[in-house]
Amino acid sequence: MLDFARTAEAIGATSSTLEKSRLLADYLRRLPPDDLRRAAIYMSGQPYGRAERRTLNLGWAAIGKVVGRLSRRPPEELNGLFLKHSDLGDWTFDALSEATHPAATSMAEVAAALEEIRTARTAAAKQQLLEALLDRLDPLAAKYVVKVLSFELRIGLQEGLVEAALASAFEVPLATVRRIHMLTGDIGETAVRCRAGELADTRITLFQPIRFMLATAVETPEEAFQRMQTEVVWTEEKYDGVRCQLHSSGGRCELFSRELKETSEAFPEIVEAGLGLIHEVLLDGEVLAHDGTQVLPFFELQRRLGRKVVSSALRAEVPLVFVAFDLLYLDGDVVMDRPLEERRRLMEELGMKPPFLLARLETARDPEHLDRIFAETRDRGNEGLMVKDPHSPYSPGRRGMSWLKLKRPLATLDVVVTAVEWGHGKRRGVLSDYTFAVREAETGQLLNVGKAYTGLTDAEIATMTEFFLANTVADYGRSRLVEPNTVIEVAFDSIQRSARHRSGFALRFPRIVRLREDKPVAEIDTLARVRELHERYFARLIPLAQVAEVSEE
């Protein structure tokens, strides 16, 4: 394990992606198959491969408690160390320095210990096992075990780089590595197949999620046509629900989220309907909340997310549909390489019934036509339009030019910063997370409507950190209330009702566009403006008939 940790450390120390990939390839090439499988998975910042579908159920708080106990350091010191890093792994390294009893520990032994932790019944037993494991490790190895457990190595190594390293380590074309990865959905399995030269017979395995195809954002209909370079483009509504992959075969049906996690439990009625399909399929689509005639706003769907058990009351209150827009596998055949046109035809021939619907499809001949369709979809209250190349294959995990998204350009809001927090990862040591408010015109009260993390340059963040330190009203450790005198402009995806903020609203995915030093706090946007935008764009119900159609009709 120490070898792994040293390699990871060296990868983190260089900023050159080429060098990172070379270091990783040199390391992976030396490993026997079992270690290779583990190392590829751990280097991607996961304790288990996706195909294994296992979770440890060990949160930051539990890991923190174990490290704290093992370190035998006083809480103040531990807190101080944590603030320095804001990264669980880096903190572990400092906290455990000279505190453990290192003995040579192989990656197989670490994997076995993780398996014991996974199967332990109680939280206390899990923590005890983790403590025993960390105690056997050198602090550097412990640092990387903790990073793997917290799902982030933070050494600048994305899965794409692990793929590149595998290609170079085993002299396999990168495109082949990607294809194997896409089909197996598991970087560990990919590594082992590359090493063994098993490159040809990788097929789709149902019930192993495949990475989702993604879309590139474009600003205008003209740009969409330029990028796509086809005679006509296909358009589909851009539904504001959650992405979902459905696998169904032989009395088994499972659903997977955009992160490739199984979500069958959250959407039992979709699973039940999937069991009724007579074909063996892998469908890509979007789950939406609807009440029989209308699509409900996203916040209704949110009530159904992340649940293990869905009560019948909630099922009745927030019913669901699955709007299918792609078909990757049908009755034993991988169809994802066939043109979208053909996949759509096959999907229409499936004769699916509600709750299955097909994405509403229209063909656009030129930019003016596309613009008209775009305006119509926005009038129906949708967030935008997907533009697809009818001749294109399905490309898992890629954000290419075959799928584009045209989104409604939204008004931005000018808001004031009311509280700030220390950042994580690259942003540790600076105050980078801003909570912000709008003004209630009648009372002048500031009411929070969201929290944004990104958008400013490093230099701006550094300057603002100094500024906020000097303008702190109350220091709560991680967060600080600041004097509300910094105006920023924020963009966002939507506005939803929220009980979390006193304003009653929350911006979804807010991003800081710029600092508005020119704008006095008295002139920031008001709660009334937020309410108006919400009503105009996000509260309206969309009639189902206009959103999607059933193939039979």
Q: Which of 42, 256, 298, 325 binds ligand AMP (CB under 6 A)?
A: 325
How many residues bind ligand AMP, per CB under 6 A?
10
Least Å distance, CB 346 to ligand AMP, is: 17
Query: What is d(CA 114, CA 123) in angstroms, rounded to the nearest whole number?
Result: 14
Pair 294, 542: CB distance under 8 Å: yes
Active site includes 238?
yes
What is the DSSP code string of 467-522?
A: HHHHTEEEE-SSEEEE-S--EEEEE-SEEEE-SSSTTSEEEES-EEEEE-TTS-GG
Does 315 bind ligand AMP (CB under 6 A)? Our answer is no
Least Å distance, CB 297 to ligand AMP, is: 15
Q: How far apart are the first and last CA of the chain?
A: 60
Query: What is d(CA 90, CA 68) in angstroms, rounded to the nearest whole number?
Result: 13
| Phi and psi at residue 141, to the nearest 5° | -65, -40
Nearer Cβ to ligand AMP (295/487) = 295
Contacts to ligand AMP from residues 396-425, by CB under 6 A: 405
Does 233 bind ligand AMP (CB under 6 A)? Our answer is no
User: What is the helix (H) or strand (E) element at residue 463, kind and residue range?
Assistant: helix 458-470
In sequence order, the 6+-apart residues with CB closer than 8 A to the CB of 387 are 218, 224, 228, 233, 234, 235, 364, 370, 403, 404, 405, 406
The tokens 């002139």 sit on which residue?
523
Least Å distance, CB 510 to ligand AMP, is: 15
Choosing from 20, 143, 147, 238, the catalytic residue is: 238
Segment interacting with ligand AMP (CB under 6 A) among 31-39, 163-171, 237-245, 464-472: 237-245
Tokens of 173: 């074309």
In sequence order, the 6+-apart residues with CB closer than 8 A to the CB of 349 are none
Least Å distance, CB 339 to ligand AMP, is: 16
Tokens of 375: 């305006």
Query: What is d(CA 142, CA 144) in angstroms, rounded to the nearest whole number?
Result: 5
The tokens 């937020």 sit on which residue?
530
Nearer Cβ to ligand AMP (344/480) = 344
Nearer Cβ to ligand AMP (6/243) = 243
Nearer Cβ to ligand AMP (325/492) = 325
Strand partners, 495: 507
355 upstream amide cis, omega within 30 of 0: yes
Segment interacting with ligand AMP (CB under 6 A) among 219-227, 235-243, 441-449, 523-531: 235-243
Does 386 bind ligand AMP (CB under 6 A)? Our answer is yes
Segment interacting with ligand AMP (CB under 6 A) among 234-242, 305-313, 408-416, 508-516: 234-242
CA distances from 201 to 194, 349, 394, 430, 488 (A): 12, 29, 19, 50, 54
Segment interacting with ligand AMP (CB under 6 A) among 18-26, 232-240, 408-416, 477-485: 232-240
Least Å distance, CB 317 to ligand AMP, is: 23
The tokens 């003004």 sit on which residue?
439
Strand partners, 217: 405
Pair 78, 93: CB distance under 8 Å: no
Contacts to ligand AMP from residues 202-221, by CB under 6 A: 215
Contacts to ligand AMP from residues 332-361, by CB under 6 A: 359
Q: Which of 179, 243, 369, 519 binds ligand AMP (CB under 6 A)?
A: 243
Least Å distance, CB 195 to ligand AMP, is: 33
Least Å distance, CB 215 to ligand AMP, is: 5
Count of beta carbons in the 10 Å neighbourhood of residue 142: 28
Strand partners, 480: 420, 475
Segment interacting with ligand AMP (CB under 6 A) among 89-97, 155-163, 236-244, 448-456: 236-244
Convert residues 127-166 into a mask of x (bound to ligand AMP by CB under 6 A) and - (unbound): ----------------------------------------
Strand partners, 431: 422
Query: What is d(CA 89, CA 96) in angstroms, rounded to the nearest whole number?
Result: 10
Segment interacting with ligand AMP (CB under 6 A) among 22-30, 238-246, 345-353, 542-550: 238-246
Least Å distance, CB 284 to ligand AMP, is: 8
Least Å distance, CB 236 to ligand AMP, is: 4
Q: Which of 159, 163, 189, 236 binds ligand AMP (CB under 6 A)?
A: 236
Does 389 bind ligand AMP (CB under 6 A)? Our answer is no
Residues that bind ligand AMP (CB under 6 A): 215, 236, 238-239, 243, 286, 325, 359, 386, 405
Catalytic residues, which ones? 238
